[in-house]
Structures are given as C-alpha cells and as structure tokens.
C-alpha cells in the first residue's frame, strides 16, 4: 500500500549511523516534523519525544499488519496521550487477541532490519492509485491533501499521513507491548463501519513499560465498567441505545441512596427541591445561548407540527429560571435556592461514549441560587462548606481548588461589566481566604459570563477531573430579564450562582466505584449483610428471623438459602464485596447470636444479635468512617 511513491527527501546509510551514535551518547533522538525537517531532541522525561515514539510505534504496527495480512484495509494510526492504536478491517475474520504476539514479533523484525521513516510529498492521484480500493486510506488521503498533494511518512511498504512528529529510526522502538483488540466505529460515528482497533503502549526503557503495565492492570481491576458487570450494577447495550445506561437493582440501590442523601443535605441547607420537564421550547435555549454555543452537543429539535419546536434539555439552568420567574420576587426572598436532580441529554459521538463516564442521558445534582450582589460572598462560602461536608461523608480527601478569573488583558470576550467582575472576583477570593483554604488562581479560565471555583479531584488512578463547580453568572439574569424588588421599592437584577455538588449521578457513581474498587462502604453497599445458615433445614428459619429484624431497622440483607456448600457461599459473599457476612448454626441459634465476618477479613467474631445490630447501625450512621 502506497509503496512506489517518489520521495522528496531521503537519508544516507552513513547519516543513519551518525544519528544512532549521537542519540546514544547524548540521550537524544531524531524526530521528523510533518514538513520533513529532522531535529534531535532530548529523550528522557520529554513528552514530545514520547509522543514521537508512540507515533513511530503506530506506524510500525501498521506495517506489521500489512505484512501479516494480505488485503487488509487500514484506518488511522494514532498516537494518544498514553497509548497508540491502529484501526483495520478485513473481509474475513477480524484480527484477534491471539494474533497480537505475531504482530509484536513483526514489529520487532522491522526494528531489527534498521528501517527508518522517509518523508514524501506526493500527488494525491498517485497516492490514491497506490491505496487501491482501501476506502479508509483513501478518505484519510483526501482529507489531508493540500493543493493536490499529500505529505506522507513511509516506513518500508507502510505509509501514514504526516500530521504529527515521528521518530526517524525504528530500532529505537524496543520496549512496547500490544495490549488489546476492540471494536471502533470509523471516525467514531455509529453510521460508519465497525473496525478492529489494536491498542499498544511503548516507552524508551523497560522500567517505564513495566510501571505502565502495572498501572494498567490496576486500572483494569478498578474499571467501573468491569466492576459494574461483576457486581451486576448497570449495563449499556448499544443495540437498544448507546450511551443510555440501564440501572440494575443493585446499581439502583446505590444511586437511590446517594440521591436521598443529597436531597436531604440540600433541604437541610435551605434549598427548595423541584421537578422540571426534560423538554423545553427551543426558544428558551436560544435566549440562554445554549443553542448558539453548544448546538453540536444538543440533540436535534422535535418539530411538533404546529410551529412549536421542543428540545431535550442539555442544561437545567433555563428550567430553574422559569421557577424563579413564576412569582414576583422580593429582596426578602433572596437568597433563593433551587435544586433538582435534573435529567439532561447531550449528544455524544458513539466513539466518545464510555460506561457511566460519558453518556447521552445523565442526571445532574444541580442547583441555582439567586442572590443580590452583596450576598455573593456569604452564599459562595455556604455552598463551599456544603460541598466539603459532602466530600467528607464520601471519604473524598484528595482535591484542590482553582479560582478562575477573566483575562485582564482581553476583557472583550467576557460579559461587559467591569465593576461587577472586579467585585465578584474579589468576593470569591475573600470567601476562600476567610475559610483559610489554599487555592490557585487561573486568569482567563472563567466562563464568559462570570468567575468560578472548580474543585479538582484525583481519580483512583491519579488523573485529575472537575468534581464540583461554583459558577457566578451575570448574563442569564440579563438575558431572561430577571428582577427582584429591593428595599427601595425599585427593581434590581439578581446574580445567579450555578453549583453542582457531586456532578452527575452517572459520573459520580463511576468515580466512587473505582475509588472503592467496588467495595462500597456499608452505608452505600447495595447489599449490606448476607446471612448464611449452616444447614438450611435446621437454621434457615433462624436466619429468616434475623433478616426480618435487620430489615425492620432498614438494613439491606439477604439470606442465602441455596443448596451450596457453606464455603462456597462465604467466598461468593466476599466476591460480591458484601460488607458483613453472618454465619448461623446450632450455637448461634441456641444463644441468639451471630458469627460475623467483615469483607476483606478472615477472622470471625461472635456477637449477640443486638450487639451486631448496634454495630452495623453505627457503621451506617457514621457513613462508614472508621473514626
């Protein structure tokens, strides 16, 4: 494929040896830019060098696929932040995981042969002729052609479009591993063919590769999609709706527990909880600006046939604004706090969907407070205290604060009210200082309608993501013409504060699943107790009686009456990560006691029924905090 195109630049054998020698001596590597220019850059600790290494590994994998499979069609060969991959398609059976070792061996031979990347700028027609009937390569060539020509990197008989820096020499690629095979729609669109995607990872030294493989194994063990399947929490079936999770009974229990907790916390913090429709007239989203700014992330409007256009809501803010506008508001009503577990819909491409983290339907723990300007600082502090208190109950401790301001050198792209910006930013900073919290300031990171605080958390694998946000908004009250009657009897414009405590239920539960590795603390666990009678005939009735007492105290409990060996039942309770396993036999039945085994522990303790009830209720009431 693309084998006989003329090259505009080549490298001599002597130049090749020179670069290798200098590379070893100076810990540098030769990297080619998309224009064919070559330079030496530092290898170790250099993200640019690692990115170029991954691009070379992707090209080598593409060459290996061409060598191993005649007539294979090849899509993109991509270097990502932490891996590389190549998409492929065959008329017969697709590439399988069993063939990865053969592909890795072919890559090794490419390195051993001393192949190097050549740069070629060729006529598009010639490149298309070389590609033949490979529709995917043809599309890529056409997309990247300029003035009838296309720039390519070529490694032996394989070629890719030159669009990112790449290593020059294949023999630098020594420490790599092909990881997995998965399906992927061409260009991430479900209307396109499903291709076979082969993933790999590569580093400059073996220690880094070993550390990466270890981290990947940990990630696999913590993957909420894997755990969700093992514990039967949820599923997503593309045949009935990609990105639309189905919550199974256990997953629903976890979600319902979190939702009840959040609502109770917010109501106790003076929020008015509401329900609002998931549909709204498109005009509202035009007024809010969502249609203009986020149209690509919204589902197509529904034409009701009478001129009315309804839209699945991508945000809850316009809905809560309608609640505010439904009555005439006085300064005595402020701050007015409105909250909802609001269902939203956003269009995500099929290729971007991932378990519960990237979905098309989500329920946001959303809230909006309407305040007078002089109330911003106090309300901001109140919201922040609520968020930190919730974090404590979920045992979330690794987080940082980022205050985002407008860019003082480029104020034209922000809502035009200098005095309000300065006052609002000062209030947010003052609230953080009053609370004695460390934070960092990020100029230019504010939304165009107001400054904000982002709370950045660390995932189970150390990645940073935004968990909670407090966002000031001067624009929407203006666009929707919101007012309140002040003490002076005149109309005044409120400021709107958007806030999310734990984000969407979907992403939050994915985060917790990975943090807890599926071993949810007792208060969240879908099943808190498993009771195992030694003999169901002799001790089953006692187990049922005990379960009834626990259920009366709102403990989630099941009795394992199956005709299986007791050891098997105990192991399964551990596999399902049930916090407490109770074994009851002759002694327990005679004494009114239970034999208690906690998840992850081998030792058992004997407690009276009341002692165990006191223990588990205390565990639940303390949100399973050990202290």
Residue bearing tokens 């050990």: 626
Closest by Cα among 270, 8, 206, 33 to 123: 8
> Which region holds residue 444: left if phi is over 0, alpha if psi is between -120 and 50, else beta?
left
In this structure, the strands spanning 440-443 and 399-405 are: parallel
Annotated binding site: 317, 368, 498
DSSP for 504-555, please give it: EHHHHHHHHHHHHTT---TTT-S--EEEEESSHHHHHHHHHHHHHHHHHTT-
**For residues 51, 53, 54 and 60, what is the CA-based torsion angle, rounded to 10 degrees?**
150
Q: How far apart are CA 432 and CA 383, in angstroms?
A: 12
Closest by Cα among 541, 550, 553, 548 to 580: 550
**For residues 393, 396, 400 and 403, what is the CA-based torsion angle, rounded to 10 degrees?**
-40
Q: How far apart are CA 625 and CA 513, in angstroms?
A: 17
> Which region holds residue 110: left if phi is over 0, alpha if psi is between -120 and 50, else beta?
alpha
Q: Which residues contact 46 (CB under 8 A, 6 or more apart)?
A: none
Q: How far apart are CA 301 and CA 308, in angstroms?
A: 10
The CB density around residue 70, as the number of other CB atoms within 10 Å, is 7
Enumerate the β-bridge partners of residue 181.
198
- Contact status, residue 27 vs residue 42, Cβ threshold 8 Å: yes
> Which region holds residue 297: left if phi is over 0, alpha if psi is between -120 and 50, else beta?
alpha
**For residues 291, 294, 296 and 299, what is the CA-based torsion angle, rounded to 10 degrees?**
-60
Annotated binding site for Zn(2+): 317, 368, 498
The CB density around residue 425, as the number of other CB atoms within 10 Å, is 21
Residue bearing tokens 């001599």: 12
- Contact status, residue 468 vs residue 481, Cβ threshold 8 Å: no
- Tell me the angle at which helices 505-516 and 249-268 cross, rounded to the nearest 10 degrees: 110
Retrieve residue 171's tokens: 């023999």
Residue bearing tokens 């929020």: 271
Enumerate the β-bridge partners of residue 320.
none
Retrieve residue 280's tokens: 């709204």
C-alpha separations of 277 from 60, 295, 311 in Å: 52, 20, 11
C-alpha separations of 44 from 84, 173, 203 in Å: 19, 14, 10
- Contact status, residue 470 vs residue 385, Cβ threshold 8 Å: no
For 520, the enclosing helix (H) or strand (E) is: none
Using DSSP's 3-state secondary structure scheme, residue 576 falls into coil
Q: Which residues contact 208 (CB under 8 A, 6 or more apart)?
A: 175
């Amino acid at each position: 494929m693309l084998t006989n195109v003329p090259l505009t630049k080549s490298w001599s054998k002597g130049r090749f040896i020179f670069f290798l020698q200098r590379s070893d001596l100076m810990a540098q590597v030769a990297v080619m830019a998309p224009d064919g220019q070559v330079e030496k850059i530092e290898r170790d600790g250099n993200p640019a060098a690692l990115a170029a290494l991954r691009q070379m590994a992707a090209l080598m994998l593409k060459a290996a696929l061409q060598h191993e499979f005649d007539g294979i069609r090849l899509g993109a060969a991509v270097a990502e932040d932490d891996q590389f991959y190549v998409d492929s398609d065959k008329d017969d059976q697709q590439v399988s995981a069993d063939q990865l070792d053969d592909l890795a061996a072919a890559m090794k031979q490419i390195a051993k042969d001393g192949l190097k990347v050549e740069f070629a700028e060729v006529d598009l027609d010639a490149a298309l002729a070389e590609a033949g009937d490979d529709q995917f390569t043809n599309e890529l060539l056409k997309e990247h052609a300029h003035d009838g020509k296309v720039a390519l990197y070529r490694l032996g008989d394989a070629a890719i479009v030159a669009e990112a820096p790449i290593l020059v020499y294949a023999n630098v690629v020594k420490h790599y591993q092909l990881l997995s095979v998965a399906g992927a729609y061409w260009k991430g669109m479900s209307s396109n063919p499903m291709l076979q995607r082969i993933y790999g990872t590569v580093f400059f030294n073996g220690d880094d590769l070993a550390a990466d493989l270890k981290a990947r194994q940990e990630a696999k063990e913590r993957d909420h999609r894997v755990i969700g399947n093992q514990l039967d929490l949820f599923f997503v079936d593309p045949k009935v709706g990609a990105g639309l999770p189905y919550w199974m009974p256990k997953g629903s229990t976890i979600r319902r527990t979190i939702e009840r907790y959040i609502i109770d916390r917010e109501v106790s913090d003076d929020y008015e909880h509401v329900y609002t429709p998931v549909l709204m007239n498109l005009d509202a989203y035009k007024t809010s600006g969502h249609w203009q700014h986020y149209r690509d992330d919204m589902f197509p409007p529904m034409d009701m046939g009478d001129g009315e256009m309804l839209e699945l809501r991508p945000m809850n803010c316009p809905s809560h604004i309608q609640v505010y506008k439904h009555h005439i508001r006085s300064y005595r009503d402020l701050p007015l706090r409105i909250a909802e577990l609001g269902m939203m819909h956003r269009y995500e491409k099929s290729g971007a969907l991932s378990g519960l983290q990237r979905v098309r339907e989500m329920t946001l723990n959303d809230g909006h407070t309407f305040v007078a300007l002089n109330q911003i600082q106090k309300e901001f502090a109140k919201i922040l205290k609520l968020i930190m208190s919730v974090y404590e109950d979920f045992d979330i401790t690794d987080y940082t604060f980022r205050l985002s301001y407008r860019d003082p050198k480029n104020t034209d792209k922000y809502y035009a009210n200098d005095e309000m910006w300065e006052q609002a930013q000062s209030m947010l900073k003052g609230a953080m200082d009053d609370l004695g919290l460390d934070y960092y300031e990020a100029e230019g990171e504010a939304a165009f309608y107001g400054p904000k605080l982002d709370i950045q958390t660390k995932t189970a694998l150390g990645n940073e993501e935004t968990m909670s946000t407090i966002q000031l908004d001067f624009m929407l009250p203006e666009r929707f013409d919101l007012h309140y009657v002040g003490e002076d009897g005149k109309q005044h414009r409120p400021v709107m504060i958007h806030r999310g405590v734990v984000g969407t239920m979907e992403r939050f539960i994915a985060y917790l699943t990975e943090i807890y590795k599926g071993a949810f603390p007792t208060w969240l666990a879908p099943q808190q107790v498993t009771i195992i009678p030694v003999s169901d005939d002799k001790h089953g009735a006692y187990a049922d009686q005990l379960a009834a007492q626990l259920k009366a105290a709102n403990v989630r409990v099941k009795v394992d009456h199956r005709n299986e060996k007791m050891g098997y039942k105990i192991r399964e309770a551990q596999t399902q990560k049930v916090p407490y396993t109770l074994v009851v036999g002759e002694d327990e039945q005679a004494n009114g006691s239970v034999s208690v085994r906690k998840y992850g522990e081998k030792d058992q303790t004997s407690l009276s029924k009341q002692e165990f009830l006191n223990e588990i209720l205390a565990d639940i009431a303390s949100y399973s905090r050990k202290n």
